[in-house]
Each structure stands twice: as C-alpha cells, then as structure tokens.
Amino acid sequence: MKLTHDIFLEQQQKLLMTPELRQAIAILQMSTLELSEYIQKELEENPFLDEREPEEVPEREREDQEAEAEANSTLEQWIEFHHDRDSAYMPQEKEEEKSLENFITSRPSLIDHLEFQLRMVTRDELDLRIGEYLIGSIDNNGYLTVELSEVAEQMGVTESRVEEVLEMIHTFHPYGVGARDLPECLLIQLHHYGKDDPVITTIVKNHLEDIGRGRLNRIAQAVNLSIQQVQEICDLIRTLDPKPGLQYSNSDQIKYIIPDIFVEKVDGEYVVIVNDFQFPRLTVNRLYEKIMRQTESTFTPETRKYLEEKIGSAMWLIRSIEQRRMTLYKVARCIVDIQKDFLDNGVACLKPLTLREVADIVEVHESTVSRATTNKYIQTPQGLFELKYFFSTGVQCTRSEEKVSARSIKKRIEELVAQEDPTRPLSDEAIAQTLQEQGICISRRTVAKYRSELGIACTMARRRY
C-alpha cells in the first residue's frame, strides 16, 4: 500500500455555533426573570442599547427628530472628547428617597430564636457558652449534629453538664428541637403535650417503621392492645412534627413564580399573551449610531472595531428577544389549541402530548420546543402550570382509538382513593379493574407505580379499623 499526500477539494455542509447563535439559544431557554436580569446587565455594558418605556414606542418620529437635533449639536464636542463618551451621558445621581420600602424586616432564624430563649432562662456564663455551642450545632431540621462527648471536650466540662444544658434546650420552642434522632424528637413533643404514656413511648422507640408501613397488627401484638387503640395512638403520633426546625426556615429561600405566558378566555376563545412587559423594551441608541456613521475617518481601527461589535451585539440581542417571543407564542398557541378540553374541564381531560408533535406543528426542531418550554410557566384558567406539565405519555383506550394522558389517569386514581371506604380500601388490582371498566387499559403494576408517584400509601397503610 502506497502512502502519498494529495490535495483535493471537498464540499461539506455543517452548522457553526457562532457567539450570536449561542446567545439566541441561551435567551430562548431563559425564564422571564432571568431574561430581565440579563437585559439589565447588557444595558450597563453596551452603550448602544437604550431602554424605552412601552408607552413611548409609538412616538418614533418625534424621537427621531429630537435625536437628530441632539446629535448635530453635540457632534463636534463628542468627537473632541470621544474617549469620555460614557461619562458625558451618565445620568445625574438622585438623592435617595426615603420610603417605607427601604426599611426591611426579616423573620428571626432558628438559631436567633433559640439563643434568645437561652438568655431568658439562664444567666450562668458557662451554661450560656455551652448552650450557644449546642445551638450552633443544630441543623435546619432542628436536630443536633454533634456528639455530647465532643462538646464536653471542646468546652472543657463534664458530659453531664452538657447533658443538663441540652435538656434545657429541649424545653425551648419549637418543641422537639435539639433532638439527636427522630424518636427523641417525637418523645420531647409528647412530653410537652402531656402524652408521654409508657405504651406510646414504646411504640415510638420500637415501631416507627411499622407505623409507616401500616403494620398495625404487629404493633398491637407487641404492646398487647387492640388494633383500634393502636390506630388512635398512631394517629396521635402522625400529628407531631418530625422536622420542627423548618418552622423557622429562612424566608429568603421562598421563590415566587412569574408566569411567562398568560392564557385568558375572551368571547369563548382562548387568547395567548406572552409576558414581555416584565422587562424593558430595547432599542439602539440613535445618538451613538448617528455619530458612528457620520465620523468614519475620526476613529482608530481599534475604536471602530469596538463600536461595530457593540452595535452588532445590540441589534442581535433585540432580534433574539423578539425571536424568543415569537417562538414562545407559537409553542403556547399550539399547546392551548390541543389542550382546550383541559382548559375547560381540568386535568381529567388532559391529552397526551410529545415534544415532537408540537415541533411538527410549529415547524421547528424538537430541541427548540424543549428549550422554549424549559423553566417556563403558563397561567391558565385552571391554575399555574409549568409548560412541561402538558407533555406526558398516553395509554391506549379500549373504547376509542384515542389515548389517555398519564396525568389524567393519575387524577382518576386520586379520585378513586378519595372516594373509597376507609375500612375496605381499594387494592391496586381493584383500581386497575375499575379503570379497565372505564375503558383504560392499565396493569396492576402501573397502578402501583402511579400511586407511589402520587404519594398514596399502600392498601394496608390506608385501612382504618
């Protein structure tokens, strides 16, 4: 075999991921809140971007005349001091207005709440230092995450002294805080409520797993009580808080959802509105644009390259935002047209839908639909839903050729369980048989899977005696 070096021509078609294309893809995937933050950042960095209020948009001709007059009057001065172009048009700093919104209050954290109670019940310096060490070792759920021997060694005291301070913390609100495990947490709460009966204590210490699995017969045999009495005790235990520390969780973790799309019914028809009024309208700063066009020989090559990059970036950003709006509208419009029965009657009428079906209707790639529906929420007459919620697999229906959505089947399972006799709860086999009578072909194993996903306990755990 002879190896030689040859030169030949070859034609290829390939997609190049330019920075502009990457930006457009990223913008399509952003939620309304993320896009608003991104636009604010671009407004700070790109001098060619200008923010315009929505009500000012129709007055384009008047603004063009004002911008042209301003450009002509300041052109010579701007050329002389073009290196200070940004500082010449910086807005003057306004004096901060005093408002009630500037005075923000926050809920005390779990540690603050416990330390306040500690200082109220003791004045001993050593107890205060031990208590602060223990409180600092309590996690967000309210459990102690350090061994008492380690605390005693660090503080240079006896372990019994640390135990005394910990028992003091056990009396603090929220009750159950400072426990080392779940049984101790529940026993502290039972003691505070005056329910620390020896039988209840035994059940909490030895049979929590049996309670979770609904094995009341085993508990009744172990404690020598009737199954009705055991059921009452289990109902009492279920009222206790297994994670008392979460009552004082950080309120900063709360995140509010801003809908990206609104759907409203007007004159019997559903209207789709893309939420684009949460972020400012963008336009190219015509003053800078006119200056750059009228002074071609004034700038150095480096300056002109910088300005061309910035104006190109500004125009591409505006185009990408508009393209995102149109894509969101088309995808949402398609979903609304397909899921009209859901919008009218609820989850029971939800139809199965895939990304490919929407992509074929909208005439875009399947990945584009996936990006357009990621982290996006839609406000409908049935409530607030993530766009991904409308995409689910389907199960064949025996009464017609149409398929039934998996979410619709889960809703029917919830309704069947809610209507069952608590003394004789439905088994998975009985639920599957009922659904088959309604024309839905589904197996017992599928029912068990859907029931588990819905957080519904098994038949034995749901039974009431």
Find the CATH number of the domain harbouring 408.
Answer: 1.10.10.60
CB atoms within 10 A of CB 342: 24
Q: Which residues contact 130 (CB under 8 A, 6 or more apart)?
A: 151, 155, 157, 161, 162, 165
- pLDDT score of 440: 84
In a domain, 258, yes or no: no
Regarding whether 235 and 154 lie in a shared domain, the answer is yes
Regarding whether 299 and 229 lie in a shared domain, the answer is no
At 61, list the tokens. Answer: 């001709």
At 216, list the tokens. Answer: 């009341």
How many residues does the structure list for the chain?
465
Cα 17 from Cα 15, distance rounded (Å): 6
Cα 111 from Cα 136, distance rounded (Å): 7
The answer to whether 77 and 295 are in contact (CB under 8 A) is no
The answer to whether 148 and 162 are in contact (CB under 8 A) is yes
Regarding whether 206 and 141 lie in a shared domain, the answer is yes
Regarding whether 191 and 294 lie in a shared domain, the answer is no
**Residue 294 pLDDT greater than 80, yes or no:** no
- Provide the residue range defining the domain that includes 400: 394-462
The gap between the terminal CA atoms of the chain, to the nearest Å, is 86
Regarding whether 239 and 185 lie in a shared domain, the answer is yes
Q: Which residues contact 235 (CB under 8 A, 6 or more apart)?
A: none
- pLDDT score of 113: 92
Q: Which residues contact 439 (CB under 8 A, 6 or more apart)?
A: 397, 398, 399, 400
**Amino acid at position 105, single letter:** T
In a domain, 49, yes or no: yes
Look at residues 201, 232, 248 and tell me which one is the last residue of a structural domain: 248
Peptide bond just before 352 cis, omega within 30 deg: no
- Between 18 and 324, name the one with better pLDDT: 324
In a domain, 101, yes or no: no
Which region among 101-105, 319-323, 412-416 has the lowest average model confidence (pLDDT)? 101-105
- Only one residue has tokens 């056990």, namely 170
Regarding whether 152 and 50 lie in a shared domain, the answer is no
- Only one residue has tokens 């009630």, namely 100
**Residue 81 pLDDT greater than 50, yes or no:** no
- pLDDT score of 132: 94
At 59, list the tokens. Answer: 């007055």
- Between 144 and 439, name the one with better pLDDT: 144
Enumerate the β-bridge partners of residue 179: 143
Our CA dihedral for 164, 167, 168, 173, rounded to 10 degrees, sits at 170
Regarding whether 151 and 77 lie in a shared domain, the answer is no
- Between 156 and 65, name the one with better pLDDT: 156
Q: How many domains does the chain have?
A: 3
Regarding whether 234 and 157 lie in a shared domain, the answer is yes
- Give the closest residue to 459 by CA, choosing from 414, 419, 423: 423
- pLDDT score of 55: 52
In a domain, 400, yes or no: yes
The H-or-E segment that residue 384 falls in is: strand 383-386
Cα 350 from Cα 392, distance rounded (Å): 9
Regarding whether 114 and 77 lie in a shared domain, the answer is no
Regarding whether 225 and 145 lie in a shared domain, the answer is yes
Backbone angles phi, psi at 351, to 5 degrees: -95, 150
Backbone angles phi, psi at 368, to 5 degrees: -65, -40
At 164, list the tokens. Answer: 């005394």
pTM of the model: 0.68
Cα 320 from Cα 23, distance rounded (Å): 8
Which region among 64-78, 137-151, 173-187 has the lowest average model confidence (pLDDT)? 64-78
Enumerate the β-bridge partners of residue 403: 396
**Residue 259 pLDDT greater than 50, yes or no:** yes
At 382, list the tokens. Answer: 């049935």
In a domain, 142, yes or no: yes
**Amino acid at position 297, single letter:** S
Regarding whether 139 and 51 lie in a shared domain, the answer is no
- Only one residue has tokens 């063009």, namely 64
For strands 261-266 and 269-274, give the pairing.
antiparallel
Regarding whether 226 and 120 lie in a shared domain, the answer is yes
At 11, list the tokens. Answer: 């034609």
